[in-house]
Chain A
Amino acid sequence: MEAESDLGAALALLIGRIESYPELKADQQFLRLQATLTEIEEQISASRRAYNAAVFEHNNIVEQFPSSMVASATGFRTRPFFSTDPVAQRAPAAKLG
């Protein structure tokens, strides 16, 4: 979660800096970088959603009777959801062209 937070902060800083360099927005290399970043963000977001869906299912089984009895006997505990601040959950706006 710390890494996610750092990455989010770094990306926000990067996007902020780009605003000051209009010529950079038209650069092909940069456009490719931006496309890759968008894709990575979407992949991370998909992994986060998949993880949280699995946690949701896991927690339901751990908390619901009768599976809760087996869970407590075998040491299974509920797990926390992966959460970041709402701004970081959105993919950075990639306005091309």
Chain B
Amino acid sequence: MTQTPREAAALKSYAGLESLAELHTQLKPVLDELETDRRRALWSYWGIVASLILATPVVFAVFFGAAWLPHFTNPEATGLLLFSGPVVWFFTASWIYRRKAQTRTGNYSRRYKEAVFNALCRRAFPGVQFSPGDGIPYHEFARTGLFLDVPSVYLSEDKLQGRVGRTDIRLAEITAERKKLKLDSDGLGTEYVRIFHGLFLIADFHKHFRSTIRVLPERQKNRTFPGEQLVHMEDPEFEAEFVVYGTDQVDARYVLSTSMLRRILELRLRWATDLRLAFLESHVYLTIAQDRNWFEPNLYRSAQDPHQIQQLADQVGLCLNLVEELNLNTRIWSKK
């Protein structure tokens, strides 16, 4: 099995990525199989979507036709049929879409992750394991207290776990949503409001501390935490972006040294998103809100495309680099 000239050229465009090129070559048979899977999933997905679209006018015609049959003399029964027909079809089509179409694409995504990510981590990020089906349990997310709302839906997947340098980490993608009642022209209904979607990192912190410290966006300055006080930092730029709560004023400043404040600010600028941190029991918990889904192969991109592996490697690298960005590998304190 050899690479096509396009694939080889794409890989050459990345400097110093011989190991990824090797990985691509090594995974070629698997990637070929995955490509067949992807095409099948894509055909299947669009086949189901097209069938649903085409079936819609037929189903409507049946309902409307039935409503005007001569034996339907009761106008209320006709009205009920005209109303309930489209509603029943809407729910049926949604169910078929979720159950069949999304499952097909989900299966491809899962197979791709299992085959490619683990090989990628073994080669490019030794010491880190990727588990697409695993996540970080809810109680660990809840104990940070970073979000006020209690979610009705909590999903966590794509866990990266291991040791980066001297730091033990766990990172996963998280979605937390809250069920909300809404009243509109159709009556009372429910909708799901997003509390958080993005990356959640738990890492061993390089200093010992006993207190609880939370770093939240500045707009959260009216929140209260039992037993915690506002901690004013002397960095005006940091104070403009964040608000700090802690159970101990000195401990908060010990953890949030002036260099750590700058690092958090830089992180905020680089990611340009809602960033929250909690420091609990010598661990740092970091949430980074993101709109997109991380660590997902693109269904519309060939499974053999080396750029895709590169992009996934970049995503993992970016996440693991958080350890360096927060300088967690510097162990010059008594904690080892």
A residues at B contact (CB < 8 Å): 32, 34-36, 38-39, 42-43, 45-47, 49-50, 52-54, 56-57, 94, 96
Complex interface residues of chain B between 201 and 220 (CB less than 8 A to chain A):
207
Cβ-defined contact, B332 with A50, below 8 A: no
- In this assembly, does B250 line the interface, its C-beta being within 8 Å of a C-beta of chain A? yes
Among A39, A49, A50, A57, contact of B333 (Cβ-Cβ < 8 Å): A39
Q: A46-B251, A53-B249 are in contact. Are A36 and B334 (CB under 8 A)?
A: yes
Instruction: Write out the residue numbers on chain A whose beta carbons fall within 8 Å of the beta carbon of B231.
Output: 53
B interface residues, Cβ below 8 angstroms from A: 207, 231-232, 234, 249-254, 257, 332-334
**Cβ contact within 8 Å between B334 and A46:** no
Query: Do residues B257 and A42 form an inter-chain contact, with CB atoms below 8 A?
Result: yes
CB-CB under 8 A from B250, the residues of chain A are 43, 46-47, 50
Complex-state Cα separation, A52 to B232, whole angstroms:
11
- State whether A49 touches B332 (Cβ < 8 A): no
24 contacts between A and B (CB under 8 A): A35-B332, A35-B333, A35-B334, A38-B333, A39-B207, A39-B333, A42-B207, A42-B257, A43-B250, A43-B254, A45-B257, A46-B250, A46-B253, A46-B254, A49-B253, A50-B249, A50-B250, A50-B252, A52-B234, A53-B231, A53-B232, A53-B249, A54-B249, A57-B232
From A32, A39, A54, A57, residue with most partner B Cβ within 10 Å: A39
- C-alpha gap A43/B251 in the complex (Å): 8
* A42 and B254 form a contact (CB under 8 A): yes
Contact across chains for B257 and A46 when beta carbons are under 8 A apart: yes
Chain B: CB-nearest residue to A89: B258
CB atoms of B334 and A50 under 8 A apart:
no
Q: How far is the CB of A59 from chain B (nearest CB, A)?
A: 13
Assembled-state Cα–Cα distance A43/B250 (Å):
8
Give the complex CA separation of A36 and B335 in angstroms. 9
List, in ascending order, chain A residues with CB within 8 A of B253's CB. 45-47, 49-50, 53
